[in-house]
Structure 1
Amino acid sequence: ESEQKELPEDWDIGYKILIDKDGITKQMLKPTYQVSIIKKPSEREFQNLINDFWWDTTYVAKCLARDEIFYAKFMSETVIRTEYLIPLIEWHIASENNWNITTNKYGRLFKKYLTQEMWTKTENTFSGSNIKENWTALFSMADLVSEIGTELSNKLGYKYPDKLEKDVRKYLTELKTKI
């Protein structure tokens, strides 16, 4: 592997040789870091992410209203956080760094690149197993996606689905107040 013409993706993010007594890594390519550079989303990618986020929050809300914590956590942590929130935060960070930055995998470097205020808002999207805390985290996610999504849509010249957000927020609030 040390003599390949291209580095594997995981190595192109960066590596450090700690010990090489036999000199087998001397010919290794230096990392370019390009594989992990955050790419600017197309308008379609942006729209799909925002729309999917808002629609999928309704599943979390229904589960919380039914006291179904397992599926609520699956949706909020596995689907919403991983597929929507993390990429959106990456786009936010990249847009402020000329689209020439990496945050490493799954938000490892978010704290380094976000303002303290934005980091606190991000932390507020986490919760344990308490249903009430999960409602708070869900609305914190909604607020964060709205803030970042609106800001990015303005920067990129993309349309933000204001009506969808308004309608879904109304639905989430109605479900929360029924319990």
Structure 2
Amino acid sequence: NFIEESEQKELPEDWDIGYKILIDKDGITKQMLKPTYQVSIIKKPSEREFQNLINDFWWDTTYVAKCLARDEIFYAKFMSETVIRTEYLIPLIEWHIASENNWNITTNKYGRLFKKYLTQEMWTKTENTFSGSNIKENWTALFSMADLVSEIGTELSNKLGYKYPDKL
């Protein structure tokens, strides 16, 4: 509960990103720690993390392609939006943004601040990865994701001195 969490020796992750007390008639929040804002700072990936993400992205796109070819939109959307976007595309874009900002930045949760930190060109490429339920639009979005991952992944591998896993 809130009282127990507010008495912790460490601030819960969700609070460390920042909070503001609006009213506290009972003084419950007086002993609360101040946020450090460090929990949400994007961390540089290890070479293994980077390569695993790239490999997993390319592997999982095959499921989307198969589903689209079979007109199975539900599983295609699950894979593209829940798995690929959340587990691969978002972290990759976060790493890209962090690499441009000395690894001392947050983009908040699930890409909330991407538009703020990406160039207009990169934001447009990111927007192109979204689609509705139309199969043809989903193919376009999938190819846009592939292009974006290839571009950002190659750029990051060069910046970080990591080998881009081109032999999947």
**CA offset digits 1:10-47 (Å, max 9, x no partner):** 10111111112233212211101111111100000000
**CA offset digits 1:114-139 (Å, max 9, x no partner):** 11111111110000000000000000
Is 1:43 the equivalent of 2:82?
no
**CA offset digits 1:25-81 (Å, max 9, x no partner):** 122111011111111000000000001101111110011011010110011001100
CA drift at 1:4 = 2.2
Quick one: distance in 2 between partners of 1:27 and 1:122?
A: 43
CA drift at 1:112 = 1.1
SS in 1 for 2:149: helix
Provide TM-score, normalisation by structure 2: 0.94
SS in 2 for 1:163: coil
**CA offset digits 1:100-125 (Å, max 9, x no partner):** 11111111111111111111111100
Quick one: distance in 1 between partners of 2:122 and 2:30?
A: 42
SS in 2 for 1:140: helix
SS in 2 for 1:137: helix
Quick one: distance in 2 between partners of 1:41 and 1:34?
A: 16
CA drift at 1:86 = 0.5
Provide TM-score, normalisation by structure 1: 0.88
Question: Counterpart in 2 of 1:136?
Answer: 140
More helix by share: 1
Unaligned segments of structure 1, at least 5 residues: 165-179
For 2:122, which of 115, 118, 122 is the aligned residue? 118
Q: Percent identity over the alignment?
A: 100
Q: With CA pairs under 8 Å and 6+ residues apart, which has the higher RCO, 1 or 2?
A: 1
Question: Counterpart in 1 of 2:161?
Answer: 157
CA drift at 1:163 = 4.5
Quick one: distance in 1 between partners of 2:37 and 2:119?
A: 24
Moved over 2 A (4+): 1-4, 21-24, 161-164
Task: Give the superposed CA RMSD.
Answer: 1.1
**CA offset digits 1:118-161 (Å, max 9, x no partner):** 11111100000000000000000001001100000000001112
Unaligned segments of structure 2, at least 5 residues: none
